[in-house]
Amino acid sequence: MFRRLIVLLAVAGASSPLALAAQTVKIGLINSYTGFVAQPADQGQKGFDLYVKLHEKDLPPGVKIELLRRDDTSNPEVGKRLAQELITRDRVQLLTGIVLSPVAAAIAPMTAEAKVPLLLDLAAAGAAIPRLSPYVARISFTLWQEAYPIGKWAVEQGWKTGYTAVSDFIPGHDSEAAFTKAFTDGGGKIVGSVRFPPTNPDFAPFVQRIKDAKPDVVFIFVPAGTQATGMMKAIKDLGLREAGVNVVAPQDLLPDEELPRMGDTPLGLITSGTYSADAKRPANEAFLAAWKREYGDKSIPDFFSVDAWDGMAAIYGLVKETKGSFTADQAMAFLSHWKDPNSPRGPIMIDPETRDIVQNVYIRRVDKQDGKLVNVEIATIPMVKDPWKELNPPK
């Protein structure tokens, strides 16, 4: 009798509003800690961690965020299974992270079935991915966003013949298509193209081919990191630029983080990108200061780090606004209208129609400052929407 009373009281107490005040928001963070994209993933993770560290105290009282980190080992089917487990077993309220677009594409249909929102922080390829499910939003960037503007810029420089050289996987194909479209639309002619295996060790033969074709400009895409440095070496060794070929690329070729290791070869190279560590915006200065405090003076953030930072900011915004309890539809409504005028990248927002990112794209040139190479922003194209979606409206 007495025991039953205690149980009744306990149950009553547990269901009282006071007890509900403690809310833990479970968020699944799928990153590629191992495998061939471990490098950008690591830069992204640093961005995530830094934001969490600095802004944990901003959460409303009683609300906590639990980040469940999982390694997709750079494998789409592992990523898919992890997402499935996070949804069914750990019952996360939101999924985020993700470097590889095939992982994103594999997970997207699940988000619709299970009604769990997915915020893509790092994956940039696959312009159509947000269309795969109404519960997907992207806050990083798209390859079309980067490559299309530089195609137009190349034509404006008076260059008539172009060549594309990209890694043979979606980001490469996307950027190749984007540059080609912009360049040919502007009156240029593509005289040749080549695609190399994604984990190719030696670029010399490919650069030789480019040299042979003698184009005015060559557009090069390789994934940031290992490959970028290898490509720069080949460009230097074969004297591509000395032979009169101009080189343009998206920011992946010259990530701020790798730049110090490339010697003097990249000097003067033009790239298009969404973030340069050198940017003089106050938001970026603050970000850089916090970064160096946490990771040391030698460490440099790049666009992955900032994308991750912004992603976490959006998620924190969501949690603060809803005090940690939200349905998938509420989350998507919030995220699709997210605006942040003070990101280290400049002003960013998510387009409610496409649920994809809209941001400034910068044309940058590599200059030497204080004996170090930096990407200096020389032109800004404001608030670029993803060109592929503009050119290919949904049927």
Asked whether position 345 contacts another protein by CB under 8 A, the answer is no
Rank residues 280 and 298 by Cβ distance to another protein and give the closer one.
298
Asked whether position 102 contacts another protein by CB under 8 A, the answer is yes
Rank residues 160 and 195 by Cβ distance to another protein and give the closer one.
195
Could you give the CA distance from residue 108 to residue 117 in angstroms, rounded to a whole number? 9
Asked whether position 36 contacts another protein by CB under 8 A, the answer is yes
Which of 62, 239, 244, 352 contacts another protein by CB under 8 A? 239
Amino acid at 91: R
CA angle in degrees (0–180, nearest 5) for 389-393-395: 140
**Assigned token pair, 116:** 């769990």
Q: What is the DSSP string of 128-174?
A: TGGGG-TTEEE-S--HHHHHHHHHHHHHHTT--EEEEEEESSHHHHH
Asked whether position 208 contacts another protein by CB under 8 A, the answer is yes
Rank residues 237 and 390 by Cβ distance to another protein and give the closer one.
237
Binding mask 65-84 for another protein (x = CB under 8 A): ----xxx-x-xxx--xx--x
Which of 56, 58, 66, 202 contacts another protein by CB under 8 A? 202
What is the helix, strand, coil percentage profile of the chain, to 5?
Answer: 45, 25, 30
Binding mask 128-167 for another protein (x = CB under 8 A): ----------------------------------------
Which of 15, 24, 88, 157 contacts another protein by CB under 8 A? 88
Residue 322 Cβ vs another protein, minimum distance, rounded to whole Å: 24
Backbone dihedral angles phi then psi of residue 345, each to the nearest 5 degrees: -85, -15
| Sites of contact with another protein (CB under 8 A) | 31, 33-36, 38-39, 41-42, 69-71, 73, 75-77, 80-81, 84-85, 87-89, 101-102, 105-106, 109-110, 113-114, 126, 168-170, 194-199, 201-202, 204-206, 208-209, 212, 225-226, 229-230, 233, 237-239, 257, 261-263
